[in-house]
Amino acid sequence: MQTVFLNGRGDFDEWRDAARVLLLSEVEPERIDWRIAGEGADLAGFAETPLPVPPPGRKAVAVPPAFLELAESIVCHSDPARFSLLYRLLWRIREDRALLQVVSDPDVIAARKLEKSVRRDSHKMKAFVRFKEVTSDDPTGRRRSFISWFEPDHFIVARMAPFFRRRFFDMDWVIATPKGSAAWDGESLTVSDLPAEKPTATDATDDLWRIYYANIFNPARLKVKAMTAEMPKKYWKNLPEAALIPDLIATAEAKVIEMAARAASQPPAFHARLQERMAEERADPAPPPEGLEALRHAASRCTLCPLHCHATQTVFGEGSVTAKAMIVGEQPGDQEDLAGRPFVGPAGKLFDGVLSEIGLDRSSLYVTNAVKHFKYEPRGKRRIHQKPNQSEIEQCRWWLKQEVELVQPKLIVAMGATAYFALTGEKERLTDIRGKIFSMTEGRRLFVTVHPSFLLRLPDERRKASELSRFREEMAVVRQLAETGCPDYP
Ligand code: URA
């Protein structure tokens, strides 16, 4: 039996040097006893066997880079069995270079598990190292000095040190851990694998962490299991903000109730004053802005109706200013409100899918909405879409009219009854007008179809499929009309 002692503190080279000699000497994995020096094993009667001398002329086998990468990570793991596992993999990889791709292989599974654990530990170190300022011995007084204490599961300090140098390049720091330490002084990065002592420093940043954490904590999104998976309890003792967690959890429910009560409020009082001001402006309107961009900018400040008070932003139309066809929907939904672009949420995805099926390029169209602000009712964490009322549609019509004037499309497509009402001022049942072409002023045509959200809401799968195929056919008509400029419809 060959007994090999390693320090086993995350140093890849010491394992690699031993493994290389053993492999060249054809020592089988089962004949090697890998041990950690200084953990009692060497004192308990296990003597290190000198490494064999490989037969002369034998060449080392090149190993795949993926193995080296895996080995460099796994060597940092604290499991004493990692060295024998790595050697076994190395031995087998000589015969099967694709071994690491065999995801069902027990050695590969075990290695990936160790690798994952090192990755997770490294991620936690990035997230949970907390620096505290200490007196600087920089004679110029320009550099500040910090110290931190972290307790990793594995020997990752040397591996992570370059990350901290990049991130905290302009300060002097020491990261001390029971599994080694790293220090940066602006010129050199020093790493030691000796266990460090826990420092006792505290400073005002502890309070800052607590203030920060208390402010980003959202009681309405509290999921204790997910939170403790992300921030496991074993790290809490070194995180100043962790002391707040039990109380934040205990009071979360009451805070959510209080928040919900506050959310269900009336439009803010300033709205009445804005309405008054807008009414005066309407009596003496400014000339419409010139050009789509100017119009978009003006619309971003629109306060014509109460919807602007709660929506995130105005969702203006977008697309080609020379588009032959303009598509008009109802109003932006939750995702459009956040993105500031029309038809990017579920209805937009359905719409885009149909366009690509019929070969109509969305960028050749101008896509907009009858109403430019999202209207919703808050329900818990969700914002439930509400239809715009007649007054909101009428107020917003001014913008739609300006868009039509600027784009001068030959064809307008009303998707749904709201769009039809905004464009014509007439209330019709969609079933009576769907699929029809109407004449508008300036030789423009109006084609009516359903709104994609209608298709998304249909509960019956068969009906949904048949309505979708009808919508597809109608959009194919739109494509044809847009391409020909509607010549057959006098
Ligand atoms: N529904 C609409 O009418 N418009 C959008 O932009 C999104 C969903």
**DSSP one-letter string for 287-343:** PPPSSHHHHHHHHTT--SSGGGGTSSS----EE-TT-SEEEEES---HHHHHHTSSS
**Measured between alpha carbons, how far is 54 from 326 in angstroms, rounded to an integer?**
79
Question: What distance in angstroms lies between residue 332's CA and the mean position of ligand 1's atoms?
Answer: 4
Nearest ligand 1 atom to alpha carbon 315: 6
**Measured between alpha carbons, how far is 448 from 440 in angstroms, rounded to an integer?**
13
Question: What distance in angstroms lies between residue 455's CA and the mean position of ligand 1's atoms?
Answer: 13
Nearest ligand 1 atom to alpha carbon 419: 3
- Residues 352-387: b if buried by 16+ CB within 10 A, e if exposed: eebbeeeebebebbbbbbbbbbbbbeeeeeebebee
Question: What distance in angstroms lies between residue 344's CA and the mean position of ligand 1's atoms?
Answer: 8
Residue type, 439: S
Report the residue among 312, 318, 331 best suited for mutation to probe ligand 1: largest number of ligand atoms under 8 A from its CB: 331
Report the residue among 314, 327, 336 best suited for mutation to probe ligand 1: largest number of ligand atoms under 8 A from its CB: 336
Question: What distance in angstroms lies between residue 218's CA and the mean position of ligand 1's atoms?
Answer: 29
Question: What distance in angstroms lies between residue 409's CA and the mean position of ligand 1's atoms?
Answer: 20
Residue type, 202: T
**DSSP letter assigned to residue 410:** S
Report the residue among 327, 383, 418, 451 best suited for mutation to probe ligand 1: largest number of ligand atoms under 8 A from its CB: 451
List of residues 6+ apart from 429 with CB closer than 8 A: 417
Terminal Cα-to-Cα distance of the chain (whole angstroms): 97
**Residue 390: how many CB atoms within 10 A of its CB?**
10
List of residues 6+ apart from 52 with CB closer than 8 A: 2, 21, 22, 25, 27
**Three-class SS state of 167:** helix
Report the residue among 351, 430, 453, 457 best suited for mutation to probe ligand 1: largest number of ligand atoms under 8 A from its CB: 453
| pLDDT given at position 41 | 53
Q: What is the pLDDT of residues 332-373, one digit of tens each?
A: 999 999 999 999 999 999 999 999 999 999 999 999 999 999
Question: CA triplet 193, 194, 197: central angle to 5 degrees?
Answer: 130
Strands 180-184 and 172-177: antiparallel
Question: CA triplet 5, 37, 58: central angle to 5 degrees?
Answer: 15
The closest alpha carbon to 307, from 255, 385, 239, belongs to: 385
Residues with CB under 6 A from ligand 1: 329-333, 336, 342-343, 345, 347-348, 369, 451, 453
**DSSP letter assigned to residue 212:** H
Question: What distance in angstroms lies between residue 416's CA and the mean position of ligand 1's atoms?
Answer: 11
Backbone angles phi, psi at 348, to 5 degrees: -65, -35
**Measured between alpha carbons, how far is 32 from 27 in angstroms, rounded to an integer?**
7
**Which residue intervals of the chain bear CATH 3.40.470.10?**
291-483
pLDDT in tens, the chain (490 residues): 889 999 999 999 999 999 999 999 999 999 999 999 876 555 555 667 788 888 888 888 889 999 999 999 999 999 999 999 999 999 999 999 999 999 999 999 999 999 999 999 999 999 999 999 998 887 877 788 999 999 999 999 999 999 999 999 889 999 999 999 999 998 999 999 999 999 887 778 888 889 999 998 999 888 899 888 888 999 998 898 999 999 999 999 999 888 877 765 555 656 666 777 677 777 776 667 789 999 999 999 888 898 988 899 999 999 999 999 999 999 999 999 999 999 999 999 999 999 999 999 999 999 999 999 999 998 877 899 999 999 999 999 999 999 999 999 999 999 999 999 999 999 999 999 999 999 999 889 999 999 999 999 999 999 999 999 999 999 999 999 999 877 655 4
Which tokens is 440 given?
């508008």
Distance of CA 311 to the CA centre of its chain: 23
The closest alpha carbon to 232, from 115, 151, 131, belongs to: 151
| pLDDT given at position 40 | 57
Q: How many CA atoms lie within 13 A of 335 on its CB side?
A: 8
Between the alpha carbon of residue 183 and those of residues 140, 142, 203, 322, the distances in Å are: 19, 18, 19, 62
Question: What distance in angstroms lies between residue 348's CA and the mean position of ligand 1's atoms?
Answer: 7
Long-range contacts for 249-255 (Cβ within 8 Å, ≥24 apart)? 249/222, 249/224, 251/219, 252/219, 252/222, 253/219, 255/219, 255/220
| pLDDT given at position 259 | 81
Place domain 291-483 in its CATH homologous superfamily.
Uracil-DNA glycosylase-like domain (3.40.470.10)
Question: What distance in angstroms lies between residue 155's CA and the mean position of ligand 1's atoms?
Answer: 53
